[in-house]
Chains A and B, each alone.
Chain A
Amino acid sequence: MAAVKETVDQVRAIDVDQYKYGFETEIESELAPKGLDEDTIRFISAKKNEPEWMLDWRLDAYRRWLTMEEPSWARVSYPKIDFQDLYYYAAPKTTPAPKSLDEVDPELLRTYEKLGIPLKEQAVLAGVEGAKIAVDAVFDSVSVVTTFREELSKHGIIFCSISEAMREHPELVKKYLGTVVPVTDNYYATLNSAVFSDGSFVWIPEGVRCPMELSTYFRINEKKTGQFERTLIIAEKGSYVSYLEGCTAPQRDENQLHAAVVELVAMEDAEIKYSTVQNWYPGDKDGRGGIYNFVTKRGDCRGARSKISWTQVETGSAITWKYPSCILRGDDSKGEFYSIAVSNGHQQVDSGTKMIHLGKNTSSRIISKGISAGKSQNTYRGQVKVNRKADGARSFTNCDSLLIGHDCGAHTVPYLESANPRAKVEHEATTSKISDDQLFYCISRGLPTEEAVALIVNGFVRDVLQQLPMEFAVEAQKLIGVSLEGSVG
């Protein structure tokens, strides 16, 4: 039970109210003027040397956004956001486009080192830094560096920041951007369409199996900024890619906004595996500070037999509002959603998925594990919808919630809609506390209470942890232990 031991040690090793990524990088930044108007958007677009069509796209989104209302249906509450009191663009003042790591500000490199993100290819190759993973590092509003590009390009894979893709591969961006999450999709997606600053772009050519894990690491550093990243991943016919995403932010007593949009497109026989370990600063023990994480993630299984799999470990953020979804358009396509959402302190989580079955014999599987502790509120909200033409569709949902302590809440809000008799939709959910029997059993075998709780929690989330790439799984397991700190024993 090494992992359990580790979880417990981790919990012990830190004081209450600790967030190990809470440091701030002292670096000079260039900011857009505070507030949001058409000039801010022109400023962002100009900073990124964007083509004219892109600016028009953004302005159109902005004008639509002005007519929209903030959604209020989620089970989260927070003071009204003043969208004029934010910086919409912040970039470290360094060389505009570093050609190699040597040109990147050493302060930035030190930041990523502290975060444990391997940016030095040699080090990775030498096995010093663990597994071989290509990283796109996004710092506030810009992508700082993308590693292993050369090796990837040998396979014809494009992996770069989205700003670069707009300049280098406008035809691809134009073809796919906004086709999965339309500009008018929802309040935050529309805002993102207007002001997004950077993010990753991945294109896997036909028949290529991406030889390494791709990942993006998001870091918010600057005060009073909003981060609006945009990720677009396209897997052409018969290709495969596994993509990881990680996020952290400094510890501050103000709330910061993160409103990202992620679009995935899987063509015939293609497979995309998207894993997230979300560890934005969750706020302190009194609920001060923390990130508002309002994210729209959606995958489109466009081709027959395509597959999109979302795995998420959500431990951070003061507020999470996030529903990674799959549109199962191609016949025989598959969607999966595996989620662990841990909330502690004053965190509020409203997360889940949507599986929209359009094609024949499409299938979806949803496994969600929610753990609430402290004074947090944790909601699973998910929709499974079977269209009239989706003959033979199959969907299975299992969501379990675990409550630790008397002051938290766990909620389950599934929506099942079926308009096809040949479809089979199943849903099951349970909510309970850690079973006294299990606890008693563990304790009677000599485990201290704290260790017993960690063991049971690890068992509770095991189905989902197994879906993560190995390196991530170990990290995620530790993270869950840390997040529950102060709530066990």
Chain B
Amino acid sequence: MEILAPTERRRTRAETDLETAFSSFVETYSGDVVDRAGAFARFSTAGLPHRRVEAYHFTDLRSMLASAPVPAAPTSRSAGGADLFVGLGAARAVFVDGFFRADLSDLSGLGDGVAVTTIAAGLAANDPALAALGGRVSADPAVERDPLVALASAFYGDGLIVRVAAGAVAARPLEIRHLSSGASVSAFVRHAVVVGEGASIEVIESHESPDGVEIHAHTLTELTLAAGAKAVWLDRQREGDQAARFSTLAVDLGKRAAFDHSVVTLGAKLARTQIFARLGEAADLSTRGATLVKGRSHADATLVVTHAEPHAVSRELYKSAVDGEAVSVFQGRIVVEKKAQGTDGRMGAHAVLLSDRAEAKAKPELEIFADDVACAHGATVAEIDETLKFYLMSRGIPAAETDKLLIRAFLGEVTDAIGSEGAREAIEAEIDGWIDARGDRT
């Protein structure tokens, strides 16, 4: 047996790529207000997380990322994508390769009290307000330590800063589209959304890229909801079959604030969606997810919901349909801090395996330090229920149809509850398309 002495960690190709990229990248941005070096150091000390890093146990980035494409530069190239939500009459911010495109965007009509600016403009003007973004992402130190958060904090070049003044109600939804020019790049976007006391906004985020192009798309979003503020958020992800998508949403809910969040993931070779939520007194959080993966996709939904103050309610429901050789991962943790008496938390994670080689992994955690709580979680993994199929077939529905019907019904519990009413139908249609594309396999 060969015994290896503990030596310095060997850098992977992707890590070296990122290091090289960073050293030339910081020069472009030298002198800006953001502490990029500090953020990058947080990443490079430990490097890409691997299976021995608990938070990445099921999504080993060190072995899954062979390389990292170069950071994107602003582009004027056009970008494709399905214009799914065009009928909603939403204000629209379009990003191509991670940079805002004024020519494709229309931010008018959001109403008084809603101000939208871009990070790039702030960086160019050396806006000291951006310095704050370089530091704290969330009150939760685990968020700060997260390697994907560190990477996005080091490399971001653009994004939106949205401020909704106290009491203001956004007159129409805000659609944020992330598109790709088709170039093989790493794109880093960072958004900051601040919703004032009693104010409200609806955001529809959409991520798309073409098949066959290696893209690493990073988004880091901070959302702050002041007391009594409300936000409805839909995140739709349909990246190409060679794309890696890394999304982090850190949301801070003030007293009696309410956040309704849905994420729908269809595609990407590798997707990791992280949500870090911190709940104030009597805050109300609902988050739900539908994941549909096939081929060799790997989709990971990771959730940390921290009840920091008393009497908050949280509901988490994540469902995935896994086909081909795909893998779906769900990691959810409800943390109840000592102060958070009267917490009500409930989490469900369910996966249905549609093929012999599909895999599902789930880790629903409870971490509880207060005694007056009612917390529960449930998780299941199985194939489509034979008895349900039998019932439908006995009613004359052909075998090929029963699967479609049952997958739709399984995900229906998530899609029916999507808060953005206008967007719900479009999402359901897209899911139907995915199911139909499976063909008539039984």
> Which residues of A come within 8 Å of B, CB atoms?
63-64, 67, 73, 386, 388, 401, 403-433
Contacts and interface: CB of A to CB of B under 8 A. Distances in A.
B371 interface: yes
Nearest to A377: B369
24 contacts: A64-B1, A73-B54, A388-B357, A403-B370, A405-B371, A410-B366, A411-B368, A412-B364, A412-B377, A415-B362, A417-B58, A417-B359, A418-B351, A418-B361, A420-B356, A422-B383, A425-B381, A427-B364, A429-B377, A431-B368, A431-B373, A431-B374, A431-B376, A433-B371
A430 B373 CA distance: 10
B3 interface: yes
A420 B372 CA distance: 39
B54 to A, nearest CB: 6
Interface string B341-380: 0000000000101111111111111111111111111111
A413 B363 contact: yes
A416 B356 CA distance: 17
A420 B383 CA distance: 9
A423 B381 contact: yes
B66 interface: no
Contacts of A425: 379-382
Contacts of B364: 412, 414, 427, 429
B366 A403 contact: no
B145 interface: no
Nearest to B54: A73
Contacts of A418: 351, 353, 359-361, 381-382
Contacts of A428: 376-379
A184 to B, nearest CB: 9
B379 A414 contact: yes
B381 A414 contact: no
A415 B360 CA distance: 11
B380 A427 contact: yes
A438 to B, nearest CB: 13
Given A403-B371, A405-B371, A414-B364, A429 B357 contact: no
| 6 smallest beta-carbon distances between A and B, as pairs | A421-B353, A403-B371, A421-B383, A418-B381, A412-B366, A424-B382
Contacts of A404: 371
A63 B58 CA distance: 31
B-side interface size class: 35 or more
Contacts, number: 120
Interface string B381-413: 111000000000000000000000000000000
B357 A416 contact: no
B368 A401 contact: yes
B438 interface: no
Contacts of B380: 424-427
A416 to B, nearest CB: 4
Contacts of A67: 3-4
B3 A419 contact: no
B338 interface: yes
A416 B359 contact: no
B336 to A, nearest CB: 8
Contacts of B373: 403, 431-433
A430 B354 contact: no
Chain A CB within 10 A, most for which of B366, B367, B377? B366
B3 to A, nearest CB: 5
Contacts of B1: 64
B71 to A, nearest CB: 34
Contacts of A415: 57, 361-363
B254 to A, nearest CB: 25
A388 to B, nearest CB: 7
Interface of B: 1, 3-4, 54, 57-58, 338, 351, 353-383
A262 B46 CA distance: 36
A427 B378 contact: yes
A264 B97 CA distance: 57
Contacts of B361: 415-418
A433 B373 CA distance: 7
Contacts of B360: 416-418
B371 A406 contact: yes
B385 to A, nearest CB: 9
B371 A423 contact: no
Chain B CB within 10 A, most for which of A409, A413, A416, A433? A416
Nearest to B348: A428
Contact of A414 (B354, B356, B365): B365
A416 B368 contact: no
A421 B355 contact: yes
Nearest to B4: A67
A66 B54 CA distance: 24
Contacts of B354: 421
A388 B274 CA distance: 28
Contacts of B370: 403, 406
B379 A427 contact: yes
B214 to A, nearest CB: 27
A426 B350 CA distance: 9
Nearest to B355: A421
Chain A CB within 10 A, most for which of B1, B365, B371? B371
A416 B363 contact: yes
B376 A409 contact: no
Contacts of B363: 413-416
B330 to A, nearest CB: 9
Contacts of B374: 430-432
A7 to B, nearest CB: 21
A433 B379 contact: no
Given A427-B364, A428-B376, A429-B376, 12 more contacts: A408-B369, A409-B369, A414-B363, A415-B361, A416-B363, A418-B353, A418-B361, A419-B358, A420-B356, A423-B382, A429-B377, A431-B374
A397 to B, nearest CB: 9
Nearest to B376: A430
Contacts of A388: 356-357
Contacts of A409: 367-369
Nearest to A373: B371
Nearest to A411: B367
Nearest to B330: A416
Contacts of A386: 381
A429 B58 CA distance: 21
Nearest to A417: B361
Contacts of A427: 362, 364, 377-380
A323 to B, nearest CB: 15
Contacts of A424: 380-382
A403 B368 contact: yes
A417 B381 CA distance: 8
B232 to A, nearest CB: 29
A418 B338 CA distance: 34
A488 B177 CA distance: 57
A435 B116 CA distance: 49
Nearest to A407: B338
Contacts of A416: 360-363, 379, 381
Contacts of A414: 362-365, 379
B296 to A, nearest CB: 14
Contact of B365 (A413, A417, A421): A413
B379 A411 contact: no
Contacts of A405: 371
A451 B371 CA distance: 20
A264 to B, nearest CB: 27
A424 B382 CA distance: 5
